[in-house]
């Protein structure tokens, strides 16, 4: 049952008061959060409550989302659902409160063309915001930066940590043996050695992190908000397009055109490869997030398949260049 006491206290300090009778579960529930909708004196609000991940991870996540929301609002025209506050309830679970945005998901719109073109411009502009460091974001003294030294370090750290987390959680059920863990760890090591040049010189840019159509709210006039900043980070723009099969050629044509208008050059072939490399790393991070869910293993299966293909490709390239 939702504990509203702590949430009400935080909102009251901002002169925001809830109509508790209107509180109900939102029609869309997250995999790792409970989501509620409620009326207030400033309009409808969305409340997210952590439910699956560890409690310290939950609070780090909502703090990061709040900070990123504030930073984006202050530094760009990128449309978001503003986060109002965050904290911990009396049960120790993290909560986050944000404005409700009227509209419908882009995934439910038949003719997506005008929205896709608008999305491409928003994302191209977002990718021009330089961020020091790499990986997940932290907000300090009015500035935001990646948690790691650079993009390469962040990818290595997150992938090795995710793989270890999965092994530690799954080893008792024999869905990942020590032999499996060591095999995948060795392949990761070879992957980073063979593709290091595609990561090491990346200058960090602000990334949304989860650009699926379910996270894009639209209305008759255009995109109303691009929601779910949980996975925002600093790094290679190719990361934002990894695994996004719903982004068609119309989107990429518009995105590349906007990049050129800004005055930047882009190698489309290399960009496509970097997107594939990013998706491979992203798969093990996804598997870590959903390791408690029974059907999580699809991500691990695809992760190893991608590693095998990329390692085979890199060996061929090395042989051809000798």
The predicted structure's pLDDT at residue 171: 87
Mean pLDDT along residues 172-190: 92
Region 149-157: mean pLDDT is: 96
Of the pLDDT bands very low, low, confident and very high (cuts 50, 70, 90), residue 276 is very high
Q: Which domains does the chain have, with CATH numbers?
A: 5-99 (3.30.200.20), 104-320 (3.90.1200.10)
pLDDT over 70 percentage in the chain: 96
Q: Do 127 and 274 contact (CB within 8 A), yes or no?
A: no
pLDDT at 50: 83
pLDDT digits (tens, 9 = 90+) for 73-96: 988 999 999 999 999 988 888 999
Residue 235 has pLDDT above 80, yes or no: yes
- Cross-sheet strand order for the sheet of 222-226: 104-105, 216-219, 222-226
- What is the model's pLDDT at position 30? 60
C-alpha to C-alpha distance for 47 and 32, rounded to whole angstroms: 13
Contacts of 31 (CB under 8 A, 6+ apart): 52, 289, 290, 293
Return d(Cα 205, Cα 232) in angstroms, integer.
Answer: 10
Structure tokens at 203: 């200058």
Contacts for 295 with CB less than 8 Å, ≥ 6 apart: none
pLDDT-wise least confident of 42-56, 60-74, 269-283: 42-56
**What is the per-residue pLDDT for 196?**
95
Cα distance between residue 118 and residue 232, in whole Å: 20
Q: Is the pLDDT of residue 1 over 60?
A: no
Mean pLDDT of the chain: 90
- Split at pLDDT 50, 70, 90, the class of 296 is confident
Name the pLDDT band for 23 (thresholds 50, 70, 90).
very high
Which residues have CB under 8 Å from 226's CB, separation 6+?
A: 78, 79, 80, 119, 122, 208, 211, 215, 216, 217
Max alpha carbon distance in the chain (Å)?
72
- Give backbone dihedrals phi and psi of 47, rounded to 5 degrees, phi first: -120, 125
d(CA 3, CA 36): 12
DSSP output for 48-91: EEE-SS-HHHHHHHHHHHHHHHHHHHHH-------EEEEEE-TT
Tell me the mean pLDDT in the region 47-53. Answer: 80
């Amino acid at each position: 049952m939702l504990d509203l006491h702590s949430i009400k206290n935080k909102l009251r300090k901002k002169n925001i008061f809830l109509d508790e009778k209107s509180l109900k579960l939102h029609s869309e529930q997250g995999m790792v959060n409970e989501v509620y909708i409620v009326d207030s004196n400033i309009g409808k609000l969305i409340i997210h409550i952590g439910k699956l991940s560890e409690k310290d991870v939950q609070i780090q996540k909502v703090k990061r989302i709040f900070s990123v929301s504030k930073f984006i609002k202050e530094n760009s025209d990128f449309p978001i659902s503003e986060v109002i506050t965050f904290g911990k309830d009396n049960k120790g679970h993290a909560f986050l409160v944000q404005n409700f945005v009227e509209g419908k998901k882009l995934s439910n719109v038949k003719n997506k063309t005008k929205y896709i073109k608008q999305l491409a411009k928003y994302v191209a502009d977002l990718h021009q915001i330089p961020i020091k460091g790499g990986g997940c974001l932290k907000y300090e003294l009015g500035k935001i930066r990646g948690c790691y030294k650079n993009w390469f370090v962040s990818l290595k750290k997150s992938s090795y940590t995710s793989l270890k987390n999965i092994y530690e959680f799954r080893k008792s059920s024999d869905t990942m043996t020590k032999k499996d863990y060591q095999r995948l760890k060795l392949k990761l090591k070879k992957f980073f050695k063979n593709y290091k040049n595609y990561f090491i010189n990346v200058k960090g840019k602000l990334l949304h992190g989860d650009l699926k159509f379910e996270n894009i709210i639209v209305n008759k006039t255009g995109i109303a908000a691009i929601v779910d900043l949980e996975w925002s980070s600093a790094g290679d723009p190719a990361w934002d397009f990894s695994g996004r099969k719903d982004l068609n050629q119309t989107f990429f044509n518009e995105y590349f055109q906007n990049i050129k208008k800004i005055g930047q050059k882009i190698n489309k072939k290399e960009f496509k490869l970097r997107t594939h490399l990013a998706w491979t790393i992203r798969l093990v991070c996804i598997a870590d997030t959903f390791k408690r869910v029974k059907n999580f293993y699809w991500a691990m299966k695809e992760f190893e398949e991608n590693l095998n293909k990329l390692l085979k490709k890199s060996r061929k390239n090395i042989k051809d260049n000798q």
